[in-house]
Every structure is written in structure tokens, then in C-alpha cells.
Homo-oligomer: A and B are copies of this chain.
Amino acid sequence: MTCAVLSIGTELTRGELVNTNASWLSAALTDLGFEVIEQAVVDDEKERIVATVERLSRLVPVIVCTGGLGPTTDDLTTVAVASALGVGLERDEASLELIRRRLEKFGRTMSDSNAKQADFPAGAAILANPIGTAPGFGVTLNGTRAFFMPGVPREMKRMYEEQVVPRIRDLAQKVSHQIHFRTFGLPESVVGERLAGVEEAFPGVTIGYRAHFPEIEVKVLARAALGADKKSTEDAARDLAERAAAEVKTRLADVIYGDGDDTFAGVVGRALRTRGLTLAIAESCTGGLVGHMLTKEPGASDYLLLDAVTYANSAKQTVLGVDEEVLRGHGAVSPEVACRMAEGARRVAGSDVALSITGVAGPTGGTDAKPVGLVYLAVATAKGTVVKERRFPGERFNIQTLAAYVGLAMVRDAANEGR
């Protein structure tokens, strides 16, 4: 069943506040089996609220709304909904008493503007707010169930769970199950081409993509129509999602690095940790990004000994022992220096594995022979040193990020292959 999420507030339409309520509610409604087809945000203008509630009530059978229930003059949701229904406001004495008591608990007395929060469109069902002054309410407009909640996230979330979910759960009619994969190594268009035909092969499945440079997240969403037995429908949705996900996994085997909750650095760290391997890094053009990615996550101290960001040539010599002649003869951006950096980091730190990255991140410093984007990456282990040359496209940000990912992938592969 479809539904819509409505958010009311000029602080939203002016962009002063990011609308996290809409995404939270949309995720919760999707989980419940609803298809959210629209999120609407309008400013604190009574006529626009009336028009939008009217319009949505003709579009979807369920509307979940937040905002505009506060005590100030710009809080107009209740009067707007009464106007859309063509009814008056009625004061609810029980709610008034609860508001009075709540204010007293905070050492305050009730004002007219507080009392206004006990007014509801005639006939509305009142939704209790145990952790704030503004109760919510539910009405039926043009056959649509519409629920109005405060905009304060924690009050809204609790009211949704306790008051709204029990009233709409049985309307969802569909049950969905979603499986996520995280990939690195292919652009979105190629990932999409690899998965051509999967939706057709598994009716009820939708494939979604989300780009987070340089990663592409792939989402497999399966929906099943609600049968007599909710449990068996849930099983059917999960089974469908799992079958489609297995196909996706086969087609993207070389680029999927983990599931929904994994991070690339986390997966690399896990590969090292499970094998009891230690790591040293020598960065140049990535300037500390690899170390930052690994140490953003807790637990890097299990394996990371050293990240020597040897930005100047002098530091490459002093800290990593790279020979001055090698630097002069081949230049800092060369396979030779990459190898010496990795070997030097491994020796200095006494680690099992060492990664080095040296390149031209730009925007300046490129030459015909060594253009912006040219990067050398080396991994040194007890079995020897391997070096890769890559030419990364894009701007400084892209080059640094891609270099860090490719370097981390080399570390992961070395750990997994026991190299």
C-alpha cells in the first residue's frame, strides 16, 4: 500500500534544518511494508498546509505528518487540518490536564499558547505524547488515514512507534525484505549493466543503486503481497530477496567487498586481524588518508603499527631509508621509490605487511612523463614486493580517494592470499 510523508515548517523550506524526520519515517514505513511515493515539505502557511493535506488525501490512503503542533503563532497544522475537514476545533480537557501537569513538573504555569495544544479538529483521535507537551492526532480525510505528530524527533519517533504503527500495521498489505551489498571497482553504469535482467528474472524485486564515491551500494528489495498469514509472507519476501541477492552476488563477485554494514577499511582491517598480521604504511600523495580511513574505525591498534606520511623527499630518506640516488635517478613518483618506501616502512615498523603510495595528486606538479593522476602503489611482505602503476582520473579528491582504495585493496588481497 502506498503512503506519503508530510513535513511542515518554514525552517525546513528555508533550508535551516535538514529533514531527518522524513527520512526516518520513510525508512520506518518502508520496513512496515508501505511504499512511500512522496515526501512533501511545506512552509508554515495555513492555506498551503490545507491544500497539501487535501491533495495527498486524494493520492494515497495513509499520510504521516510532522511539525506545526507547537505553542507559537506559526504553528498552524491543527487549524489547517480542521479547515480541510470542514470542522471546528474542540478543546480536550484530559489533554489540557496532562499539559498543565507536565508544565508544573518543570516549574511553569500554563499560558493560552500552551492551552492551544489541547485543541483538536472535532472528532480527531488523540495520540498521547508522554515525553512532550504537544499531543498528536489522527483523522480520516477523503477516506485517507492521516496522522499528525510533533516535529521534535524523539517525541515523533516514540509517538509513531506507540500510536501510529498499531493503527496502520494491517494496512500495509505488502511485506518487503531488503539486502544490501557494497562494491568498489566498477562505475555505477557498469554495475547496472552487469545486473541487467535481474528484476525481470525475479518478479517483485527492485534493484537500487547508491553512489558514494568511489563505492556503489547495490540494494535488492523484494516485496510480497500480504497473504492470510503474515509470517509466511515475510518468509516469502525474504526467500525472494535471498534468491535475487545470490544472483547479484554471482554477477558482481569481483567487486562486492561486503554487506550493508561493512566499510572498506573495516574489511581490510578484519582480513589483517583474523590472520594476526601487522601493517605499516608509507604515504606520499594520499597524505594520511589511508591511515585516517583505517583509524576512523575502532580497533586499528590490533594491526596498525605505523603510517609514515613522508611528504618531502628528505622524509622519505630519513624515515624510510629510501636511497637519495634512487630518488634522484627515478624521481619520487616511480615504481622504484614505491618499492623502497614499502620495504622501508616494513623494516622500520617491523610489520608483516607494508603498503606504499606515491603519485601526483595535482592540480599542479604534473609533467608529460608523469602526469597528474599517475600513482605507484607497492605492497611488501616476507615473500617480496609487488608494485602497481595506475593512472587515476579526475581531480585531487578523486585521485587521493581512488589511490587509498586501491592501496587498501592490495593490502586485503595480500592478507587473504597469505602473501
Binding site for B on A (CB under 8 A): 10-20, 22-30, 35-43, 45, 48, 52, 70-74, 102, 105-108, 111, 113-114, 131, 133, 152, 187-190, 192-193, 196, 199, 206-211, 213, 219, 221, 280-281, 283, 286-292, 294-296, 298, 300-301, 304-312, 314-315, 318-319, 348-350, 361-365, 391, 393-397, 400
Contacts and interface: CB of A to CB of B under 8 A. Distances in A.
B290 A16 contact: no
A318 B351 CA distance: 13
A13 B40 contact: no
Say how many copies of this protein the assembly contains. Answer: 2
Q: Is the interface of A mostly helix, strand, loop or mixed?
A: mixed
Contact of A309 (B26, B72, B188, B288): B288
B23 A111 contact: no
Contacts of A16: 23, 27, 208-210, 219
A414 to B, nearest CB: 19
A15 B27 contact: yes
B37 A39 contact: no
Given A10-B208, A19-B19, A40-B38, A306 B295 contact: no
A406 to B, nearest CB: 13
Nearest to A31: B15
Contacts of A196: 73
B287 A300 contact: yes
28 contacts: A11-B210, A13-B38, A13-B39, A14-B208, A15-B29, A16-B23, A19-B19, A22-B41, A35-B43, A38-B41, A40-B40, A41-B41, A73-B192, A106-B393, A106-B394, A283-B288, A287-B291, A287-B294, A287-B307, A288-B288, A288-B289, A298-B361, A305-B314, A306-B308, A307-B311, A308-B308, A308-B309, A319-B349
